[in-house]
Chains A and B, each alone.
Chain A
């Protein structure tokens, strides 16, 4: 009966549709992806709808910056980051910083024109930075006092405090023309000097970028880049229908195959890890519960760090698409490789035994009346984090630690994480993340996201920020993680346990050569097209 009706229903559908189609068929030749010849110079990319910059392509409103930093494409930046996240030049030809770190002087090229034909000068740079500071969206410019053009090709940044990693900020902020900037319209009609020109923005659906014929660097190989914004399942269908050349996807779809496409996995620093409150449970003056009696024991935190099999987690939860994470900044220039540990469950058990956590009758460890129990928190609605937390709980069970799982909303998650481990996702292209995770703040004397403090770690990071040499500061950031005697790694305080870096997955049409990718930051988004100008068809 049921299938009978279904058949009739589908027949009805087809009748109805063929009727409507007779009206609509004539002009279907206009679909763009019909040309698949080798010298094709256009590409269609499906991105997450969240990647669409609602407020437009204006650096003042966060274009290029934020959670998922990427090159702004339409505008030029002073510096760029290399594939290994070290700093190179775009507009800048040279930069220097004063001994006290409060004055940055940047020389820029003199041969750059905006796409309206006007030359780009240091005045535009100063204007951009002052304006972005003024509008204060996701760009953190609190360390900048003001920018000033000394002449056509020299710009000076006066800082409120030393900030050695300023070149990473300079790699994000696209330079806008002072003469043609209106904050009400610039977002949808941006004029820049970058590799691409915004040809068209159909809000809520697509962005069409055309190569800038007057670009000062190498001419883009891809003349037209179309980015469409689709939900994950729609993007998958679009790949199946052959309508897009590259579509984002996730591990959920990774066991599928799409004819004419292959699955590409790109490495990321998009990590997941738990915070382990490093102080005993207590109540603050304002009545908040902070700290955790079980994880306050450093041996417990060490045991957890070596007692989890990260590869097993990757295979089970991520279908193999990920890499083990040992820090918040794996493979970044400021990463200390000493963070890496080997999976050793026996040693983990020994550590717990030695610390006095004895296995009770129910298989759960106990010490002085304190049970080895954890309430693991995850953000509700994030199935990957939930699955990782569940896998983590299973593995801790083997060590004699009993875990419960609880989904929480972000309105309460920050407060809850002060006493219970929460699974977090980080992965920014700046060491400020390391700073904010491990450095103590203000009056509490504890780190912001999870209670922890170590004055040596603080001192290294303060020195790193105050350093007048970026290269030298990398070494200080690394020492903050482990300097041979103390730090935040296994032999140190280990106040966070890092689990996995999630690979970013894409369906790539056969023949499309995607250029080598920088290690992606947190989240799917525009960083995939950082070097779309170098992509090609074969």
Chain B
């Protein structure tokens, strides 16, 4: 019990420090950014037809004349009271904006995450089992090709093939153009989600498959595999009973670590597919110098990533009896 509390306490402190660090870093980057919030959001031409008084009021709104330390501490103070502030661009509470956007993104990211995890594990196992034979070479080739392809470029390529050339799938958005919300069906949403999910999964697969392959090859070269072979166990049985079991832990670490990659990837992919998710909002907030919103998004996504890694830590015990027993002894 004491161990559990200890563990939880340690993790919690770490999380708080991490979030603090992430928010401070984001703030500093934004502060050092060469973007002028008035120039980007109000526009040169609008500024050019305004009086000095009006420009001064706008500068106050965008916090230009507030000292940076005061801005950051003000934000931090609000967050400690559970108030993430109001988005300067959307003029709505930051949490409302994030909630709306996250609801759109979550399906996209979760599906891509699950597909890339399962498919990555499967392909990695396949490649490892057929090491240096053609399935391995095809899978490896695919993975290397994909890892070196920028995801937004892949997204545009997919759009060109499936939306423009073949016309099977829509070019963008999460719902059909010009259709009222009450007549949008689940199938419509599904069709609009396919290409973004596909892009995210395709890129996500590569990393997981390559690592799984490496790990499996390492496991398969161990003595107990030789022994199993000598006992006459079949290839399938060796793979499932020894390979998969030993690969599952690192695979899980990778799978949970890939949450951050999926979130990162969604920023670009949503932009290309005009998909109204968190990634799109992050870009808008970043380019528009919407400090409260950007800080809110980075802190919340960082928390999601952290919780993902924590989940991996906790699941180790569930999957691996050795870790469970060791923990119990302490």
Contacts and interface: CB of A to CB of B under 8 A. Distances in A.
A96 B64 CA distance: 39
A23 B89 CA distance: 39
Choose among A32, A240, A241, A409 the residue with the greatest number of B CB atoms under 10 Å from its CB: A241
21 contacts: A6-B145, A16-B198, A17-B168, A21-B168, A32-B176, A49-B284, A136-B54, A184-B92, A205-B174, A205-B275, A226-B178, A228-B177, A234-B272, A241-B164, A242-B167, A409-B35, A409-B36, A410-B40, A428-B45, A432-B50, A432-B51
A31 interface: yes
Contacts of A226: 177-178
Interface in A171-218: 184, 187, 199-200, 202-206, 208
A377 B325 CA distance: 67
Contacts of B162: 17
A67 interface: yes
Interface string B160-171: 111110011111
A522 B45 contact: yes
B191 interface: yes
A445 interface: no
Contacts of A426: 44-45, 48
B142 A436 contact: no
B49 A204 contact: no
A206 B173 contact: yes
B177 A32 contact: yes
Contacts of A199: 180
A244 interface: yes
Choose among A20, A205, A410 the residue with the greatest number of B CB atoms under 10 Å from its CB: A205
Given A230-B274, A428-B45, A436-B49, A33 B177 contact: yes
Contacts of B145: 5-6, 9
Interface string B24-39: 0000000001111001
A54 B180 CA distance: 20
A223 B6 CA distance: 65
Interface string A220-232: 0000101011110
B171 A241 contact: yes
A433 B49 contact: yes
Interface in A23-54: 23-24, 26-28, 30-33, 42, 44, 49, 54
Contacts of A13: 158, 161, 202
A20 B156 CA distance: 19
B200 interface: no
Interface in B303-320: none
Contacts of B48: 426, 428, 432-433, 436-437, 449
A411 B100 contact: no
A230 B155 CA distance: 14
B130 interface: no
Interface string A413-451: 100000000001111101011001100011000001100
A179 B105 CA distance: 37
- Provide the main secondary structure of the chain A interface: mixed
A230 B172 CA distance: 8
A142 B45 contact: no
B13 to A, nearest CB: 36
Interface in A222-270: 224, 226, 228-231, 233-234, 237-238, 240-244
Nearest to A161: B51
Nearest to B160: A237
Interface string B79-100: 0000000010111100000001
B178 A138 contact: no
B100 to A, nearest CB: 7
* Interface range on chain B (Cβ under 8 Å from partner): 35 or more
B194 A20 contact: yes
A136 B56 CA distance: 11
A521 interface: yes
B177 A206 contact: yes
B236 interface: no
A412 interface: yes
Contacts, number: 222
B20 interface: no
Contact of A205 (B40, B180, B274): B274
Contacts of B33: 411
A229 to B, nearest CB: 6
B178 A208 contact: yes
B171 A237 contact: yes
Contact of A228 (B87, B101, B163, B274): B274
Interface residues of A, number: 86
Nearest to A442: B52
B58 interface: yes
A55 interface: yes
A8 B138 contact: yes
A8 B92 CA distance: 48
A349 interface: no
A517 to B, nearest CB: 18
Interface stretch (B181-189, B208-216, B221-229, B249-257): B181-189
B178 A206 contact: yes
B133 to A, nearest CB: 15
Choose among B40, B173, B177 the residue with the greatest number of A CB atoms under 10 Å from its CB: B177
Contacts of B178: 32-33, 42, 44, 206, 208, 224, 226
Given A205-B172, A237-B164, 14 more contacts: A26-B187, A28-B191, A44-B178, A54-B91, A54-B288, A138-B46, A202-B181, A205-B276, A411-B36, A424-B44, A425-B44, A428-B46, A521-B45, A522-B45
A321 interface: no
Given A24-B190, A200-B180, A226-B178, A66 B39 contact: no
A55 B89 contact: yes
Given A16-B198, A27-B187, A409-B35, A233 B156 contact: yes
Given A8-B138, A208-B178, A433-B48, A31 B42 contact: no
A288 B142 CA distance: 57
Choose among A17, A21, A32 the residue with the greatest number of B CB atoms under 10 Å from its CB: A17
Contact of A432 (B44, B49, B172, B284): B49
B280 interface: yes
A523 interface: yes
Interface in B52-110: 52-54, 57-58, 61, 87, 89-92, 100-101, 104
